[in-house]
Structure 1
Amino acid sequence: MKLTGTLTVPLPPDEAFHLFTARGEEKWVDGWRPRFPVPAEDDTEPGTVFETGAHGEATVWVVLAREPGRSISYARVTPGSRAGTVTVALEPAGKHSEAGKHSEVTVTYDLTPLTDAAARELEEFAAGYPAFLASWGTAIEAWLSTIRPEGRDHTA
């Protein structure tokens, strides 16, 4: 099942990129605590492996490719449930004076269910995918509000 959607992040792509890395997601994803079986200085290096236990599921992730500030792709396997890839691509977004201060982030999940139960779960995930991505935007905005003074642009 392939799902693609977008969200806008109020940071330029070179700054927003970090938010979609293993360590960067810790800032805004509740319960996201990546564990690296082998120390990884650069968590975006292709071949880097990490594990997560978010939502009570153990998932193994492998960085497949990255273009800093532009995109990152992961393979992910949740044993006994689903396997596939997740790709995050960033582009400058905005109009006129705001151009370059925001990012349009396209997130693509391409997942295969490994069981009948997982197939049903993926159908539910697909139905809620737009809301799922909207929740990312809300969580990122909430995190940014804790590190930026109200009303001040991050570039000031």
Structure 2
Amino acid sequence: MSAALHVPLPPEAAFRLFTARGERDWVPGGEPVFPVGTPDDTAPGTVWLTSSDGEETTWLVASCAFPRWVSYARITPGVRAGTVTVSLAATEAGSEVTVTCDLTPLTPAAASASALDEFAAGYTSFIRSWEKLISGHLT
């Protein structure tokens, strides 16, 4: 699934908003934990953990080409695994940011649950809600 949002910053400035540390600025409760200290949270191989709704997710930077895109692998043990890629393209008003997410359930129970279907159904609205959160951070 893929959806886009607009950020009123050029890709060079907007890119940071979609990194582990950058999301701290605008994601409510966004507090990544780095098991090993790292000066660059966009370096391939960098790992961090997040916790939300009682689930802990491990994230890994798979690849990065600043300021055009960054790709993450994510695993929520016993629930789902997949990739998230954030692509940025310059526009007259800033950046168009496309977030592509590919998730796979890890157990039969997770596959039969409707959580991924519900997530997919609301994905575009979810990604577009980031515009409001980011705008609130930037003003």
In the alignment, the residues of structure 1 paired with residue 135 and residue 24 of structure 2 have an alpha-carbon distance, to the nearest angstrom, of 14
2:95 aligned partner: 103
2:104 aligned partner: 112
Over the matched positions of the two proteins, sequence identity in percent amounts to 57
Confirm or deny: 8 A CA contact 1:33 1:54 kept in the other structure.
no
- Match status 1:135 vs 2:133: no
Match of 2:30 among 16, 29, 32: 32
In the alignment, the residues of structure 1 paired with residue 17 and residue 87 of structure 2 have an alpha-carbon distance, to the nearest angstrom, of 12
1:69 is aligned with what amino acid? P
- The alignment's TM-score, normalised by the length of structure 2, stands at 0.95
Q: Describe the superposition over 1:68-115 as per-residue Cα deviations: whole angstroms up to 9, x where unpaired.
A: 11110000000011000000000012xxxxx2x410001000110113
2:43 aligned partner: 45
Q: CA deviation at 1:117?
A: 4.2
Gaps of 5+ in 1: 94-98, 146-156
Structure 1 residues 64-103: aligned runs within 5 Å:
64-93=62-91, 99=92, 101-103=93-95
Larger radius of gyration: 1
Give the number of the structure whose residues are more often strand, by fraction.
2
In the alignment, the residues of structure 1 paired with residue 23 and residue 137 of structure 2 have an alpha-carbon distance, to the nearest angstrom, of 11
Gaps of 5+ in 2: none
Runs of 4+ residues over 2 Å off in structure 1: 115-119
- The alignment's TM-score, normalised by the length of structure 1, stands at 0.85
Q: CA deviation at 1:53?
A: 0.5
In the alignment, the residues of structure 2 paired with residue 90 and residue 57 of structure 1 have an alpha-carbon distance, to the nearest angstrom, of 28
2:8 is aligned with what amino acid? P
In the alignment, the residues of structure 2 paired with residue 118 and residue 131 of structure 1 have an alpha-carbon distance, to the nearest angstrom, of 23
1:136 is aligned with what amino acid? W
